[in-house]
Amino acid sequence: MRHLLPIASAGIALLVGVFLIFVRTDRREATFFPMGPIPVKVVAFDRTIFQFHRDVETVRSRVDELARIFNRHDPGSELAELNREASTKSVPACPEMRELLELSREWRRKTGGAFDPTVGPLVDVWSEAGEAHELPTAAKLAEVRGRVGLPFVESSADGKIRFSRKGMSLDFGAIAKGAIVDEAAAVLLIRGVRRGLVEAGGDGVAFGPGTFQFGIQDPVAKAGAGIIGTIEAEAGAVVTSGSYERFIEIAGKRFSHIIDPRTGRPAENGIVSATVVGGAAADADALATALMVLPLSESIGLLKEQGAFQALLIRKGDGGAMEIRMSEALSPKVYLERRWAASVQTF
Ligand code: AMP
Ligand code: MG
C-alpha cells in the first residue's frame, strides 16, 4: 500500500497542474524588463495559464523590438543611427519611426512647441551640466537651441528622414513609452484578450469592459514608496509625467529632466507631476510632458480644448505646500487621501 502513496500524490499534483493550465482565472499578471530598469507590467483577465504565457511572450518580443528602435542611447538602435546620419543624408525610417514622428508633429502643434522630441541636444547639455555641477552658459544654450525644432526634421514621401541642421538629435523619451504600451495592448487584443492592461514606468493603458484602478504616485515620497490615492478609470490611458523621480542638481538647486524647448531651460512651471487620463497612451504621454512645461493657465486651456483627456496636476503652491488641480470630469473617478483631498481645486 505504502508505495502507492507517492503515485497517488503525483497524480493529484498532475491534476492540479492541468487544472491550473486550463482554467481561466479572473486576473493574471506578469512583469518583465525590456527597457533597462523600467518594468513592463502585463495584466490580462479571463485567460488560462497557457494562454497568458503566450500573451506575455508575444508582448515581450514586440516590446523588445520597439525598445530597440527607439532607444536613443543604444548605439545599435535605429534612432541612434538616424541621429548620427540624418544631418548629412536622407535616412530610410521604419513605419513605427515615421508614425511616431508624425504624431509628434501633431502634439508639437497642439502644445505650441512645449512638446518637441528634437529636444535631444538640450537634454544632453543639461545632463552634462548635472554631471559637471555647473550651469551651461547662455551662449552654449543659444547655440544648442538653434538645432532644436521639429520643423528642421524633413520627412519625404518615400519614407526617408533628414535633418536640415547639423547636430540635431531626436529623443522620443516623452512619447515612446506611451506608444509602446499602446502597441502591447493591441497585441493582447489581437490575441483575443478581451480585458487587460499594460503599464510601463508610469505609462498605463487599459482595454475592455469595466473599470481599472491606477495608483497616483506620491510626488514627495521616494520613487514607488507610496501613493496619494487612486484613479478608477474606464478603458484608455493613465499616464504620469513627473519631475520628482528624475532631476539634476546644481549648486543645491533641482532642475527637471523635462526641458522647455522654447527657452532651452529645464521646465519650471511649478507642476511636480501631471497625470493624464483618457485616449491612447502615446497621446496622453506627449500631453503629460507638455503639462510639465506650460504655465498652468495654458495647460487648463489646452485640456479644455482636448476634450478626450482629463488631468490631475500636483503643483507646489505659492506657500510651498503641494496642492492638486484637476479636470472637473475626473473628480468622480479619483479617490484621494484626506490630506490631499483638502487641497483639490477643479477646472
Ligand atoms: P516624460 O517622462 O514622458 O515626461 O518624458 C521625459 C523625457 O522626454 C525626458 O527624459 C527627455 O528625454 C524627453 N523630453 C524632455 N523634455 C521634453 C519636451 N519638452 N518635449 C519632448 N520630449 C522631452
Ligand atoms: Mg511623456
Distance from residue 231's CA to the centre of ligand 1 (Å): 24
pLDDT score for 294: 98
Whether the Cβ atoms of residue 193 and residue 55 lie closer than 8 Å to each other: yes
Distance from C-alpha of 314 to C-alpha of 9, rounded to nearest angstrom: 56
Residues within 5 Å of ion ligand 2 by Cβ? 174, 241, 285, 288-289
Q: Which ligand 1 atom minimizes the distance to the CA of 115?
A: 20
Distance from C-alpha of 212 to C-alpha of 209, rounded to nearest angstrom: 9
Question: What is residue 229's three-state secondary structure?
Answer: strand
Side chain identity at residue 29, one-letter code: E
Distance from C-alpha of 72 to C-alpha of 173, rounded to nearest angstrom: 8
List the grid coordinates of 235. 478603458
- Mutation pick for ligand 1 pocket among 289, 298, 302, 313 (CB with most ligand atoms within 8 Å): 289
Distance from residue 291's CA to the centre of ligand 1 (Å): 11
Q: C-alpha distances in angstroms, 4 versus 1, 14, 15, 17, 121?
A: 5, 15, 17, 20, 72
Q: C-alpha distances in angstroms, 259 versus 245, 250, 286, 325?
A: 15, 15, 13, 22
* Closest-approaching ligand to the CA atom of 173: 1
* Ligand 1 binding site (Cβ under 6 Å of any ligand atom): 114-117, 119, 123, 171, 173-174, 241, 257-259, 261, 285, 289, 292-293
Distance from residue 286's CA to the centre of ligand 2 (Å): 5
Whether the Cβ atoms of residue 188 and residue 181 lie closer than 8 Å to each other: no
Distance from C-alpha of 261 to C-alpha of 212, rounded to nearest angstrom: 34
| Sequential pLDDT tens for the chain (347 residues) | 667 777 778 877 777 766 666 666 689 999 999 888 889 999 999 999 999 999 999 999 999 999 999 999 999 999 999 999 999 999 999 999 999 999 999 999 999 999 999 999 999 999 999 999 999 999 999 999 999 999 999 999 999 999 999 999 999 999 999 999 999 999 999 999 999 999 998 999 999 999 999 999 988 776 566 899 999 999 999 999 987 777 888 988 989 999 999 999 999 999 999 999 999 999 999 999 999 999 999 999 999 998 899 999 999 988 889 999 999 999 999 999 999 999 999 99
- Mutation pick for ligand 1 pocket among 108, 122, 168, 171 (CB with most ligand atoms within 8 Å): 171
Dihedral in degrees, nearest 10, Cα atoms 122, 124, 125, 126: 90
Q: For residue 207, list its beta bridge partners.
A: 196
pLDDT score for 221: 72
* Closest-approaching ligand to the CA atom of 264: 1
Distance from residue 268's CA to the centre of ligand 1 (Å): 14
